[in-house]
């Protein structure tokens, strides 16, 4: 065992100057701890600066790595974009629906006025080898003169009020449901146009003006108009789309 009685010798062992820190020298009769035990204690305590890193982690990141805090309000998710997209889609469908309805109703009323002026009280006109006949007729019933023999009040409710309610219901469904594709939108527009064309006739004249008859030989349809033709086209479009969906 080494005994250290010289203060200068003790400072040389620890590698520290008297100006940096004070060295507590052992009293006479006491021995210094072995050099290996001090290393073991330092290893057990951990690497140098470990405590500093732990304290720094609690206090926060280093000033050099800290991100600057942006001033101002926090950005909110832009939900208005979804609303604008839905509104634009609704406007497109409304424009398509309105254009088809206005065009079909105008064509229906124009052809009915021409039939009233040039066909009423005259013999039928045959076209394309009697495939098409133009003959004026007033229909108090429904599609293709269905229900023409019913009493007047029943016809008014069945073909007037109920038809108007059905047209309004189809219009509301077309406006509220944005999942309709283009084919469905066209079909719905044709349904509305055909219903509106015949409702105008019932409100103004009490009957529906018909002038078209199609057939070959003895097989012929009833007398109808452009509004009935438009409604038939809408039904065919819906059936075609349903058949395509099932075939996929």
Structure tokens at 102: 């206005």
Q: Give the CA angle between residues 115, 145, 122 to the nearest 5°.
A: 30
228 is catalytic: yes
Reported as half-sphere exposure (CB side, CA atoms, 13 A), residue 55 has a value of 4
- 6, 130, 181, 228: the active-site residue: 228
Is the CB of residue 186 less than 8 Å from the CB of residue 151?
no
3-state secondary structure of 83: helix
Alpha helices in 119-225 (DSSP H): 152-156, 162-176, 182-205
Among residues 130, 149, 181, 210, the one annotated as catalytic is 210
The answer to whether residue 108 is catalytic is no
Q: What is the helix (H) or strand (E) element at residue 215, kind and residue range?
A: strand 208-216
Question: What is the dihedral sign for C-alpha 89, 166, 188, 210?
Answer: negative
Q: Which sequence positions are flagged as catalytic?
A: 210, 228
């Amino acid at each position: 065992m080494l005994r250290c009685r010289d203060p200068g010798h003790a400072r040389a062992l620890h590698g520290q100057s008297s100006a940096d820190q004070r060295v507590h020298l052992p009293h006479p009769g006491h021995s210094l701890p072995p050099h290996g035990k001090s290393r073991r204690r330092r290893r057990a305590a951990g690497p140098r600066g470990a405590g500093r890193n732990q304290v720094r982690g609690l206090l926060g990141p280093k000033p050099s790595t800290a991100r600057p805090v942006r001033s101002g309000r926090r950005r909110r998710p832009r939900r208005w974009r979804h609303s604008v997209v839905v509104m634009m889609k609704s406007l497109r469908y409304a424009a398509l629906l309105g254009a088809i309805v206005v065009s079909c109703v105008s064509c229906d009323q124009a052809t009915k006025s021409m039939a009233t002026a040039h066909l009423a009280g005259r013999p039928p006109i045959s076209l394309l080898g009697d495939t098409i006949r133009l003959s004026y007729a007033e229909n108090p019933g429904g599609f293709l003169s269905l229900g023409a023999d019913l009493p007047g009040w029943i016809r008014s409710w069945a073909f007037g009020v109920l038809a108007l309610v059905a047209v309004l219901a189809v219009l509301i469904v077309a406006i509220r449901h944005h999942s309709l594709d283009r084919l469905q939108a066209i079909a719905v527009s044709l349904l509305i146009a055909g219903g509106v064309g015949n409702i105008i006739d019932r409100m103004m004249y009490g009957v529906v003006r018909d002038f078209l008859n199609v057939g070959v030989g003895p097989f012929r349809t009833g007398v109808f108009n452009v509004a009935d033709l438009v409604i038939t086209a809408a039904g065919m479009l819906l059936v075609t789309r349903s058949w395509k969906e099932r075939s996929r």
